[in-house]
Amino acid sequence: MTQANSPPTLNLQLTAMQLTDNRSMGKFAISRGKSVDASKIELQVSPGEPSEILLRLENQSEEHLTLYLQLEFQPAISPDWCQFYQETINNGSTQSEVVQGFSHQLTINPQQRQDIEIEFNFPPNFFENQQAINSENDKLEINYSAQILAYKNNPNEKLIGYQVFDLKIRPRIEYLEFLPVIYREADFLSRFLKILEETYDPAVQTTDNLWAYLDPLTTPEALLPFLAQWVGWKMDSHWPIQIQRRLIRNAVTLYRWHGTRKGLRFYLHLLTGLPLDEDLPEAEKHISLWEDFQKGFVLGEACVNQDSMLGGGRAYHFIVRLKVEFPNQIDESLVREIIEEYKPAFCTYELNIVREF
């Protein structure tokens, strides 16, 4: 007489979880979610943010159990929004497996337990995407009924376990944090607050980022003339906008050092983007300025053909040399315009733009 094998026994449990952080060391960082009704699992998903359900499978039989897991949704969702995540230990090392879609197959040893994480990640534009609207009733579905079926070996064989749960798609609502906990569970109140949040959020964001509107480097281009008037800076529409931003931001410094070598060097630095090279000798700087004036011919000190010059050279004359990496890197006419504006009126100058080797 042959004794028939007892059918495999499977214990299947679902727990709603909420992802609070990205994966760390190949594993989900999770925290237990809230459940309104203990008799039915409910998972709330915010578009653009991953949420998950933990599926715990326990093989209570004395034989290896091969399972085929199948997810079903009503109404249907895209398989790209769902994936299975499983960790197994093989020869002392942990291996991770991620399967996209609605089905997953695995084997559980006798009297062993296996945890499967089912992650849902709806697209950030879910509420704005017209393809998500059901064409039959012409409305956006935000509540889904789901079930997970566990078959032995394949879906054509015996169903040995199943669980049902609800999937609710809700936007992230920050205003709920200001309410007592008892009111946060009211679904209608949450969605109503989202209307107010979307209405006032642009004004709140503007206030939170007010500093960016007052910084010439980050303010919208339309506000640049307003900031320029604050510091008495005259804008020139012929100049590139990025140069004007830097000049307006440093206008007070330029006023303070107007007519000096330090001020002219800083002005040319803002205009051309060449480094100041404060720690280098004058001859090695990318922006070098020096006066072409010597003591002249002095008996006992001057050397013929070296430093002797009748009259001592040109008074109030200076030389500007800019070292660039490649030709046409800077606008020479713009540089001359700056020097003419910034130098003392009685001074003359010479501009040399050389290529750096």
228 versus 316: the higher-pLDDT residue is 228
Instruction: Give the phi and the psi of residue 211 in degrees, each rounded to 5.
Output: -60, -35
CA distance 22 to 179: 27
Residues 151 and 15 in one domain: yes
> pTM for the whole thing?
0.53
Assign residue 134 the CATH number of its domain.
Answer: 2.60.40.10
Structural domain harbouring 168: 10-172
Residue 94 lies in a domain: yes
Instruction: Report if residue 233 sits inside a domain.
Output: no
Query: Considering the domain boundaries, does residue 247 fall inside one?
Result: no
pLDDT in tens, 170-219: 888 888 888 888 887 788 888 888 888 888 888 888 888 888 889 999 99
- What are 82's two structure tokens? 């769902």
Total domains, the chain: 2
User: Residue 217 class from Cβ within 10 Å (0-12 exposed, 13-18 middle, 19+ buried)?
Assistant: exposed
Q: What is the pLDDT confidence band of residue 136, given thresholds at 50, 70 and 90? A: low
The mean per-residue pLDDT over the stretch 46-53 comes to: 89
Which amino acid belongs to residue 226? Answer: F
216 occurs within a structural domain? no
**Per-residue confidence at 138, pLDDT binned at 50, 70, 90?**
low
**Which residues are bridge partners to 73 per DSSP?**
146
Percentage with pLDDT > 90 across the chain: 20
Residue 21 forms part of a structural domain: yes
pLDDT digits (tens, 9 = 90+) for 226-280: 999 999 998 888 888 998 999 999 999 999 998 888 899 999 999 888 888 888 8
In-domain check, residue 139: yes
For the segment 15-41, the average pLDDT, to the nearest whole number, is 46
Residue 352's contacts (CB-CB under 8 Å, 6 or more residues apart) are 319, 320, 321, 322
Is the pLDDT at 311 greater than 60? The verdict is: no
Same structural domain, 160 and 301: no
Average pLDDT of the chain is 81
Instruction: Decide if 68 is inside a domain.
Output: yes
- Distance, CA of 164 to CA of 43 (rounded, Å): 11
Q: Are 65 and 5 in contact (CB under 8 A)?
A: no
Give the residues across from 159 on adjacent strands: 151
Do residue 14 and residue 156 come from a single domain?
Answer: yes
Tokens (6 digits) for 157: 């064989």
CB 267 within 8 A of CB 338: yes
Q: Kindly give, in sequence order, each residue whose CB lies less than 8 Å from that of residue 59, ignoring residues fewer than 6 positions away.
A: 8, 9, 10, 65, 108, 109, 110, 111, 112, 113, 114
